[in-house]
Chain A
């Protein structure tokens, strides 16, 4: 959910902060897929508790099976975007879905670009 937090921060940054020194503020998401990903993350956060509890009823060997079947149906009835499985960890700057390093939330190309310009703290070209 780290990328989600970052994206939310970006959206929040759309509001102009009451400070005199202007900062570079990104006012748009990179593309629509990124926006959809943001929506999915939001919904997953909202429904997380409920999903956890219904799953606890489902993945159970104590409760009767009828109850578990009912729980199955309930969880299927929840909105599709609420499941965390649909979230894709995209690159934060380019929205690339593949080749994203989790620690930096950046795709490999962007990462290489910044590392070569010495803008990644503690990152060095490997040589051994």
Chain B
């Protein structure tokens, strides 16, 4: 290997989840890289790379599952390091909260590992600011792809801070990915968790399957053709299971449909749309076949009331009884003595006994009087 500057204590790679698209994996890698809690810029850069690896997973299909992210990231970075970065920054901006918490945890672990790593420090070609806590494993089965190395160096050079250190960290990441892929190929112990999580999916007993199949058979053919629907149903069941089961990849963000709906409601009432709707309604509305349908139509139009008759149709008075009766609080705008007050108290007495008006109407009534008397104030003062 060209660059073997940084050496780190070997983390339990079994902790890594096998879906690199999950945030957990990304955070874990972040934590690994950002062991030295002192410089946060480095770790942020590593976050960028790890997220880029997550996103560009789809680009590379040739290599193994784990290799694809870093390669894809490298290729992407080679082409144009700006647009993915922006995307990543946006994504990171959303995920920063979790990351910071995780980072603290990892930093705590890093402080423990530092003491271990002090022993393993070999020749460092990094700058003085880099602490000696970062170490790497020297055990490697396969050398990394020279393309990957070139890509890593290109990426590191594109970034402003601590290029060599970034490069070495990237390569360490890649190495770790390769190791995990090798483990997977050999049938390692990593996949247990996923398998267990998948096991939580409901499994129907064969008896239930038999019931279902028999139900289907009764619809299709009755004689002799039992085998085919069974097989097809089994296959369909399996395919259904495989489609729906599994952890979410979080590749696609949910397209927010709210602004679309808002736009649609604004622009929808065009004349042609209304005309079309009218045509459709006219075509689909068949004349009533009997008296019942006629009555239904009348009810929809509002000609016929709904039975049993609800006496409070259209009245939506949500106010309590005390709001109807105790109306004195609305009398604040009036003078406290004099004939006007007397008059208004009579008005309120009458309103409180009125069951036909809503509270709103009563309040409007009182406010009208208030306005009227305010207009006549000059006249009243002359008197």
Which residue numbers of A lie inside 8 Å of B, CB to CB? 17-21, 49-50, 53, 56-57, 60, 62-64, 66-67, 70
Contact across chains for A62 and B282 when beta carbons are under 8 A apart: no
Which of B287, B297, B346, B376 sits near A67, CB closer than 8 Å?
Answer: B376
CB distance from B131 to the nearest CB of A (A): 79
Asked if B301 is at the interface (CB within 8 A of a chain A CB), the reply is yes
Asked if B286 is at the interface (CB within 8 A of a chain A CB), the reply is yes
Contact across chains for B278 and A20 when beta carbons are under 8 A apart: no
A45 to B49 CA separation, bound complex (whole angstroms) = 74
List, sorted by A's number, 24 A–B pairs whose CB atoms are closer than 8 Å. Answer: A17-B301, A18-B281, A19-B285, A19-B297, A19-B301, A20-B282, A20-B285, A20-B286, A21-B288, A49-B368, A50-B368, A53-B368, A53-B369, A53-B372, A56-B347, A57-B343, A60-B343, A63-B339, A63-B340, A63-B343, A66-B382, A66-B383, A70-B376, A70-B379
Q: How many residues of B contact A (CB 8 A)?
A: 24
Q: B281's closest neighbor in chain A, by CB? A: A18
Q: B341's closest neighbor in chain A, by CB? A: A62
Give 10 new A-B contacts, CB below 8 A, not counting A57-B372, A62-B339: A20-B286, A21-B287, A21-B288, A49-B365, A49-B368, A53-B365, A53-B372, A62-B346, A63-B339, A66-B383
0/1 interface trace, chain B 348-369, chain A, CB 8 Å (1 if under):
0000000000000000010011
Q: A53-B368, A67-B376, A67-B379 are in contact. Are A18 and B343 (CB under 8 A)?
A: no
A20 to B301 CA separation, bound complex (whole angstroms) = 13
Residues of the B chain whose Cβ atoms lie less than 8 Å from the Cβ of A63: 339-340, 343
A109 to B343 CA separation, bound complex (whole angstroms) = 50
CB distance from B207 to the nearest CB of A (A): 53
A67 to B368 CA separation, bound complex (whole angstroms) = 16
CB distance from A126 to the nearest CB of B (A): 31
Asked if B227 is at the interface (CB within 8 A of a chain A CB), the reply is no
